[in-house]
């Protein structure tokens, strides 16, 4: 059976580590990881080179500035990964025509919609989350970049016991 090759950005993050653990029971999955120790996620050429090297079937991008309480005073760092990094990953994977999943956050929606959210819904954060516009940029960018998809994931995805 042909194995499926997944390339995951953000090597040491919670989601990346959960994927690594889950894949151990899946012999047909081959995981590769890219981290900031290896290249700058906002450098499209560097991301392209990493993807060409690993030849993934699917790219998963959970890399993000997730320190919500520091994002306002550390905006440049947050924009670097959440906007510019998301753009570089989206551009590189679109250029290589590799389907890509970008993990975002359900905080880009205010929860007021009475029905489930769908891909076309415009980000509309609750007022308390407006200080994090970098997250919406990442979500928008991935939607507009070829075969990519953004996933605004629920807070309980990885660690059911921990509310983020
Ligand atoms: N965990 C959950 O249950 C959960 C729930 C809802 C949404 N999400 C979303 O899923 C995504 C991943 O969450 P997570 O819990 O895995 O976050 P995390 O543990 O904070 O990991 C974030 C990753 O992003 C990387 N990163 C941060 N700044 C970077 C930079 N400048 N350049 C390159 N990489 C950088 C980190 O790299 P290092 O490893 O080098 O530090 C880390 O691997 C986020 O968008 C989050 O909002 C997660």
The per-residue pLDDT for 160 is 39
Q: Homologous superfamily of 4-151 in CATH?
A: NAD(P)-binding Rossmann-like Domain (3.40.50.720)
The per-residue pLDDT for 67 is 87
Q: Is beta strand 29-34 parallel, antiparallel or unpaired with respect to 4-9? A: parallel
| Distance between Cα 10 and ligand 1 center (Å) | 6
* Residue 27: Cβ-neighbour burial (10 angstroms; 0-12, 13-18, 19+): exposed
pTM given for the model? 0.85
Query: At 159, is the pLDDT very low, low, confident or very high (cuts 50, 70, 90)?
Result: very low
- Name the residue among 103, 92, 87, 16 with its Cα closest to residue 52: 92
The per-residue pLDDT for 162 is 36
What is the enclosing helix (H) or strand (E) of 95? helix 86-95
For residue 12, pLDDT beyond 80: yes
pLDDT digits (tens, 9 = 90+) for 43-85: 999 999 999 999 999 999 999 998 878 888 888 998 999 889 9
Rounded CA-CA distance 142/158 in Å is 22
Q: Is the CB of 159 under 6 A from ligand 1?
A: yes
Phi/psi of residue 129, nearest 5 degrees: -100, 0
Structure tokens at 39: 């290249």
- Every domain of the chain and the residues it spans: 4-151
Q: Whose CA is nearest to atom 24 of ligand 1?
A: 63
- Name the DSSP class of 81: I
Residue in the block written with tokens 């996620």: 41
pLDDT digits (tens, 9 = 90+) for 99-156: 998 888 777 788 888 888 877 788 777 765 555 555 655 555 555 555 556 665 555 5
């Amino acid at each position: 059976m042909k194995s499926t090759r997944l390339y995951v950005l953000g090597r040491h993050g919670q989601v990346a580590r959960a994927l690594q653990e889950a894949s151990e029971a899946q012999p047909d999955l081959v995981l590769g990881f890219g981290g900031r120790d290896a290249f700058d996620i906002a450098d499209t050429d560097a991301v392209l080179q990493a993807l060409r090297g690993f030849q993934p079937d699917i790219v998963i991008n959970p890399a993000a500035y997730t320190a919500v309480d520091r994002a306002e005073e550390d905006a440049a760092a947050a924009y670097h990964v959440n906007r510019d990094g998301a753009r570089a990953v989206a551009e590189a994977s679109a250029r290589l025509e590799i389907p890509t999943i970008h993990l975002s956050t359900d905080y880009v929606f205010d929860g007021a919609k009475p029905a489930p959210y769908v891909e076309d819904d415009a980000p509309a954060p609750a007022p308390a989350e407006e200080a994090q516009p970098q997250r919406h940029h990442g979500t928008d960018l991935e939607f507009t970049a070829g075969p990519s998809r953004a996933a605004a994931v629920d807070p309980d995805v990885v660690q059911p016991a921990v509310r983020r």
